[in-house]
Amino acid sequence: APRGRAADQGPFSRAEARPRRSWASWALLGAALLGAFASQGCSAAVPTGTLTPRKCLCFYEDGNGCALNARIPETWRELEASFGLRNNLRSLHFELPGVGGASSSTVDITYVPVGPPPPKLRGASGSARPEILQAQLRDWEAEFPPERRTSLPRRSGEFDAAAGTAVSLSVSGTWVGPEESPRAPQPDSAMLAAVIPARPAGEGERQFAFLVRTVGPAGAVAANADAFASFVRSAQTDSTYLF
């Protein structure tokens, strides 16, 4: 599992790591995220501005490189990370700006297993299971009851640890929260989410992934769709990243 690093860790001081994912696939992802709100008449957007220099957001506990690095939109404000009992990183948080006095929303990033523990055999690894990924996407979609949606769930991309490509989701309507911790119904809400693979599982390892999502007032989420897509496109999980 990755461990957190202070917000002032700073950007890379050497050349950026070469991404493993296809940039064409990330372009399609960005178009899908932006297109998700086109039918809702949401034209106002928070100026994305420039992205901050690339920085490592968290490191692997075993010290074997950077678990996730990315470029953060300048309009986002990094919030305090959440840690577990053993000081292991539980989640990262960023506050997104609102528009025209509207409420803001947050981007939350968590690190979860998407593959089973591997069998104790030479060369074995716990590769990602499609059913685990599908269950996560269905859980997100279920936070917006079908009869109270203003747009159908839209998925794009394909989760592929070897290629470093992600699957994304967008949906809007009345948000009721996850089944295990329901919230008071919040109409006119929206969600953007992505599942980004961590480094490919090696021998004796199980596959992990980063869950990235924002859910909040539809206007704020739609206005930040471009910035969200830019952040996801910039994400890299190459552990050979150099400072």
Q: Report if residue 107 sits inside a domain.
A: yes
Q: State the Cα–Cα distance between residues 46 and 75, nearest whole angstrom.
A: 8
Handedness of CA 134, 140, 143, 146 (dihedral sign): negative
How confident is the model at residue 199, as a pLDDT? 86
213: Cβ–Cβ under 8 A, 6 or more apart, which residues?
107, 108, 140, 191, 192, 193, 194
For the beta carbon of residue 114, count every other beta carbon within 10 angstroms.
25
Q: H-helix or E-strand containing 138?
A: helix 130-142
Helix/strand/coil for 38: helix
pTM of the model: 0.76
Residue 20: the pLDDT is 42
Of 96-100, 122-126, 161-165, which gets the smallest average pLDDT? 122-126
Say what the pLDDT of residue 60 is.
77
Write down the pLDDT at residue 164: 85
Region class of 100: left (phi > 0), else alpha (psi between -120 and 50), else beta: left
Q: What is the mean pLDDT of residues 95-100?
A: 81
Any domain includes 240? no
Residue 140 lies in a domain: yes
Tokens of 76: 């986002």
What's residue 117's pLDDT? 86
Residue 18 belongs to some domain of the structure: yes
Q: pLDDT of 156-198, one tens digit each?
A: 999 998 888 899 999 999 999 999 999 999 999 999 999 999 8
Tell me the per-residue pLDDT of 180-189, one tens digit each, with 9 for 90 and over.
Answer: 999 999 999 9
Q: Quick one: average pLDDT of 229-242?
A: 76
Confirm whether 122 is domain-assigned: yes
* CATH number of residue 95's parent domain: 3.40.1000.10
For the ranges 109-113, 118-122, 218-222, 227-231, the lowest mean pLDDT is seen at 118-122
pLDDT averaged over every residue in the chain: 78
Confidence of residue 102 (pLDDT cuts 50, 70, 90): low
Report the C-alpha dihedral over residues 109, 111, 115, 119, rounded to 10 degrees: 170
Check if the beta carbon of residue 189 is closer than 8 Å to that of residue 69.
no
pLDDT-derived band at 232 (thresholds 50, 70, 90) equals confident
Least confident of 71-80, 91-100, 204-213: 91-100
Q: How many domains are contained in the chain?
A: 1
Beta strand 66-70 with 77-78 is unpaired
Identify whether 214 is part of a domain: yes
Give me the percent of the chain exceeding a pLDDT of 70: 72
On whether residue 38 sits in a domain, the answer given is: yes
Per-residue model confidence as pLDDT tens digits over 4-59: 333 322 222 222 333 344 434 444 444 445 444 444 433 334 444 588 998 888 88
**In a domain? residue 176:** yes
Give the range of the structural domain holding residue 170, as residue numbers without chain letter. 2-234
